[in-house]
Structure 1
């Protein structure tokens, strides 16, 4: 097991306001995840990488792997910063996780209509159309998409709280590590 750092310094007092500025810039993407942003392009890269990483584990995980990896990567990195006691860095990665969840929510909700532009020209290559169709659950695509969007908002609120705690009480959340 890797030892946790013995002592961590508090975050800079201006870090929370910097975080809130970043949140304000990302808010349109969080509230309207169907809009394209720089992070959407980053998500797309990790989405496609997820398909490659999950390919050996069968068709279901291959199809889900893109969406899973684009959300789990920033979430895992947030966990690393949380473990290290770096609240503001954790919060920034939670914001990315929230934005990515929002993108996935749009993709899932589009499963029935398949109107989103995909990398290929074939609308039948839509991951969530294939998944939900194979489970006879296409009718649930909007409900599932709305649930993921709700989780993205909850994750964004958790990011704000994490940034606040990280700056108000120092990186360790008020405790020595």
Structure 2
């Protein structure tokens, strides 16, 4: 898992489109629908929020069930989503990313940050979210090691009897 984080920076800073990005897009769009009743700002943020919250909640469920490896995998998925969201936020001023519908005025973070008169902060905010993604990726490594250590301890105890 450490090699995955250290040797595959594209997980946290995507340069192209992958299968997982398509899955993330489905949850992103679903997030808009789920957050629609809570006002325009949460509607706009809902896509990015849901695509990060879904794997984060799943990680918590797996961790509580004692399934540390599963928790680590979906935490890495959450980190990948934070990487994607960071790129999306950082793109708010330029709006160069391809969007569904091809209308650059539908860029969620351009609308959010523009409404807050904070567009010049898009790169800084994108970097902050990226660093959060790095922290979550490292947390996933810690969870995986904890799970491996716990499994090793369990197998040693079971061999004694």
Q: TM-score if structure 2 supplies the norm length?
A: 0.89
Whichever structure has more helix as a proportion of its residues is 2
Q: Distance in 2 between matches of 1:76 and 1:142?
A: 27
- Higher normalized contact order (CA 8 Å, seq sep 6+, divided by chain length): 1
Between the two proteins, the alignment pairs up a number of residues equal to 154
Q: 1:30 to 1:59 in 2, by over 3 A?
A: same
Give the Cα separation in 2 of the matches to 1:35 and 1:55: 29
Gaps of 5+ in 2: 155-161
1:14 counterpart residue number: none
Does 2:34 match 1:53?
A: yes
Show structure 1 runs of 4+ deviating over 4 A: none
Partner of 1:120, secondary structure, is coil
Deviation at 1:29, TM superposition (A): 2.4
Q: Retained in 1: the 8 A contact 2:72–2:143?
A: yes
Question: Aligned equivalents of 2:50 and 2:150: distance in 1?
Answer: 32
Structure 1: state its 5+ residue gaps: 1-18
Quick one: which of 37, 57, 70 aligns to 2:51? 70
For normalisation by structure 1, the TM-score amounts to 0.81
CA positional deviation for 1:36? 1.9
Distance in structure 2 (CA, Å) of the matches to 1:172 and 1:100: 33
What secondary structure is seen at the aligned counterpart in 2 of 1:169?
Answer: helix
The offset of 1:25, in angstroms, is: 10
Structure 1 position 154 matched with structure 2 position 135:
yes
Residue number in structure 2 paired with 1:104:
85
Equivalent residues of 2:24, 2:51 under 8 A apart: yes
Instruction: Note the C-alpha offset of 1:39.
Output: 1.3
Where do residues 1-177 of structure 1 align in structure 2 (5 Å cutoff)?
A: 19=1, 23=4, 27-170=8-151
CA RMSD across the alignment? 2.1
